[in-house]
Chain A
Amino acid sequence: MQLSELKQQGHVWHLNQAPRPEQTLYPTGFAELDVLLGGGWPCQQVIELRTAFGIGEFRLLLPYLQQQSSRNKLQVYINAPAQLHAPFLSNQGLPLWQQLEVRAQEQDALWAAEQCLKSGCCSTVLLWQQSLNIARLKRLQLAAAEGQAELFLLRPSEQSQLSLPVGLSLALNPAPQGLQVRVLKRRGGWPGAQQLVNFSQRWPRLVKPVLSPQKEQLTPPAALAI
């Protein structure tokens, strides 16, 4: 195998192209995830999250979104699988005026994401998208750098045929105490690392209870067939 091929696939990289230590990283709000990602979310990048809908992927981004809301820029949600619930957002301290929901067809959604990233008035764009080709992704990356915005690309985990040249790609899987995060690809790092992000501190009601003998008597029948 040629070296250039290896470089192209990201198995070999130049150290001088590795992310410099001064490159700004946004802390994720979860200490164990910060360790996994070498400090936090890389800024002005496209970050791919392979995840099912509803396992806690939005709560994983929530500390980041809360921290970004102080920039007084928009946070755009494109083609979210369901509509955002305003009481939740305001409870979490996200100002509602910053939140923008956009619905569009597949191609228009990519266009909208690019415009939002480029505009310079958005801090974060969350895009739920099934299919994406490499050329469109490169455009999105350039747009993110131009507008100093961050794009989170949320894709279903089963669509794993095409690996995209993103800076960071994570696979999220449900775990009893939170989320199991596995690095699929990371610029300047090796893939394959895994880490359990524990939600039991932040979201005690959204983790599986650790069954202690006393509590066990109190809980109702665990599984309910309907």
Chain B
Amino acid sequence: MQTLWLYLYFPQLQLDLLPQLQADAATPDLSKPVVLLHPQQLQVQQANPAAQALGIRPGQSLAHACALCAKLQVLPWQRELEQQLLELLAQDCYQLCADLALAPPAALWLRLDPMLQLYGGLDSFLRQLQQMLQQKPGLQFQYGGAATAEAARLLCLTQPGQIASTQAAQRLALSQCPVTLLDLAPALLQQLQRLGIGQLGALLQLPATELSRRFGAELQHYLQQIQGQLPPLLHYYQPPDQFCARLELWYQIEHHPQLLAPLRHLLQQLQQYLQRRAQRCYQLQLELSLRDQPPLCLKLHSPQAEALANRWLALWQLKLEALTLPAPVLAMQLLASQYCKEEMHSADLYQGKQGQYSPLQLVGLLQAKLGATQVRRPTEHAAFLPELAGSSQALQQAGEQTITPQLSTPEMAALQLHQPAALYAKAVPGVAVKTAAQSPHSAPTAAPLQPGLSATPLRPAFLFAAPVPLQQQVQLMPGLERIQSHWWQGQAQARDYLTAQSADGRWLWLYRTEQQQWFVHGVFA
């Protein structure tokens, strides 16, 4: 079957995308000559149009470039950044084409023949590709198409924009291609040139057996790859399973408000990533690389899974307000975890005015500002000791179910039925105390008839986290309730609970221990 490959090359990838990386005042002015310099070879790697107009070309030495322009701005070329940008472009192209491979440092291979039927021909595919790439303003690109991957690369570099879809057309188009562009060892290239073989067409005319005898199998295999007799050795691109993006800053950040602009850039990448997968995520981790300090790791959790950059940014803003940076920030990395499917909620059109946030979003907002443990929900447990029967639980890692209406399951109902808080209620002389055993548990119906003698024992609205020793004069009310801990709960406790009113009119819930010590445990409020 006839294959068709497209080689997409971005000659100025890093320089073109520079303004988008950090929309900030510190970005160099690209209307002036700017070059990216290879940090090891000290050669110009990429030059912007203003620099090229002055005669500066990639490959020149720094001294040469500076001689041509005295006011040249020189920035380092970063291999990791280039790779990262290329992967971002690959993510974009993956939306159009299923089979693609990275060709570092700045190119992509796209296999088109399986996709043409979907797009209805090559022209409409190329149109869509161009539309997508033009969404990144300033990005220069060139492409070439041929029946094999390597031929597409050569065609892109020699005659950009040309598509040679058949073997014959490809052979014709590449006949003038200089051998220096071939992906071969430098020694081999030198050998070919010394023999007077300057163009690919001349090389292909030579008999194959002669070539392999003289130059070894390497050249033979390479030529077979160009001609489509051997399949190309490529690793097809797979989109990452987890979102992770890193941003090296051009300058050091010392105050947290400045962190928001680069963070927004990362969050927008996250938004794009999540929206393409119809996902949201619960948790983000931000790692700040600091100068002379170990990196600072911040975690942010949103109970309502979010995808939108703006929502996350609002939460980060609250989180970062509380932060003082121990040292200037050099780079930041954003990592997302705990994904879930995007679920579309439809609001009721007739419900009237809708709220700004959902309950979970509100909880997320409060947690981001105040800390995760500061937002709590009272919870009930089947226990006798009051401090165990009712406690407040931090809404951490809370799923949807914890803050939305819960249906009372049969188990829950059974649990509540076996939860009389008084295990032993002892009648003291002269005081009528109803025990849990005496009273039927159908409290709601009985209550209106005998107000106050409901089956459920009287409980205060507020409980002190730690009981306070009683230090004031109080007036005790009739009624006593004994509560004992279970025998397996460590030190056995038996407490006699009483209701009392203090001199200033406060209603207290007291208990007396077996050692005759008195504590205030709750307030009826």
Contact = CB atoms under 8 A, between A and B. Distances in A.
A147 B362 CA distance: 12
B357 A226 contact: no
Given A97-B403, A108-B370, A224-B476, A86 B389 contact: yes
Contacts of A6: none
Contacts of B416: 90
A205 B456 contact: no
A86 B390 contact: yes
A183 interface: no
Interface stretch (B116-124, B247-255, B289-297, B377-385): B377-385
B176 interface: no
Contacts of B369: 108, 111-112
Contacts of B358: 121
Nearest to B403: A97
Contact of A88 (B355, B375, B392, B460): B460
Contacts of B508: 54
B363 A85 contact: no
A56 interface: yes
Interface in B476-509: 476-479, 499, 501-502, 504-508
A56 B377 contact: no
B429 to A, nearest CB: 8
B139 interface: no
B353 interface: yes
A205 B355 contact: no
A57 B505 CA distance: 12
A204 B499 CA distance: 12
B524 A74 contact: no
Contacts of A29: none
B187 interface: no
Most B-side CB within 10 Å, residue of A101, A208, A219 = A101
A147 B231 CA distance: 65
Contacts of B389: 86-87
A209 B478 contact: yes
A209 B366 CA distance: 44
Given A55-B505, A82-B523, A202 B451 contact: yes
Contacts of B430: 217-220
A97 B465 contact: no
A208 B185 CA distance: 101
B464 interface: yes
Given A88-B460, A226-B518, A53 B378 contact: no
Nearest to A173: B505
Contacts of A66: none
A41 B98 CA distance: 63
A74 B362 contact: yes
Nearest to B406: A97
Given A84-B462, A95-B405, A59 B374 contact: no
B525 interface: yes
Contacts of A120: 353-357
Nearest to A105: B370
Most A-side CB within 10 Å, residue of B419, B428, B504 = B504
Given A120-B356, A226-B473, A100 B504 contact: no
Contacts of A83: 376, 378, 391-392, 462-465
Interface residues of B, number: 71
Interface string A134-175: 000000000000011000000000000000000000000111
A218 B377 CA distance: 42
Contacts of B376: 83, 100-103
B475 interface: yes
B365 interface: yes
A206 B430 CA distance: 18
A82 B452 contact: no
A203 interface: yes
Interface in B121-171: none
A133 interface: no
Given A82-B462, A84-B461, A115-B362, A54 B374 contact: no
B431 interface: yes
- Sort A-B residue pairs by CB-CB distance and give the 10 closest, nearest first: A120-B355, A174-B505, A204-B452, A54-B506, A86-B390, A58-B525, A86-B378, A82-B462, A218-B430, A54-B523
Interface of B: 353-359, 361-363, 365-366, 369-370, 374-380, 386, 389-392, 395, 402-406, 416, 419, 421, 428, 430-431, 451-453, 456, 458-465, 470, 473-479, 499, 501-502, 504-508, 518, 522-525
Interface of A: 52-59, 72-74, 80-91, 95-97, 99-104, 108, 111-112, 115-116, 118-122, 147-148, 173-175, 201-206, 208-209, 217-220, 222-226
21 contacts: A54-B508, A55-B504, A74-B403, A82-B462, A84-B461, A85-B378, A87-B380, A100-B395, A115-B362, A174-B501, A175-B505, A202-B452, A204-B453, A205-B477, A205-B479, A209-B477, A218-B478, A220-B430, A223-B475, A224-B473, A224-B474
Given A84-B378, A86-B390, A220-B431, 14 more contacts: A59-B461, A83-B378, A83-B463, A85-B378, A86-B379, A88-B460, A91-B456, A95-B405, A97-B404, A102-B374, A119-B357, A119-B359, A120-B356, A208-B501
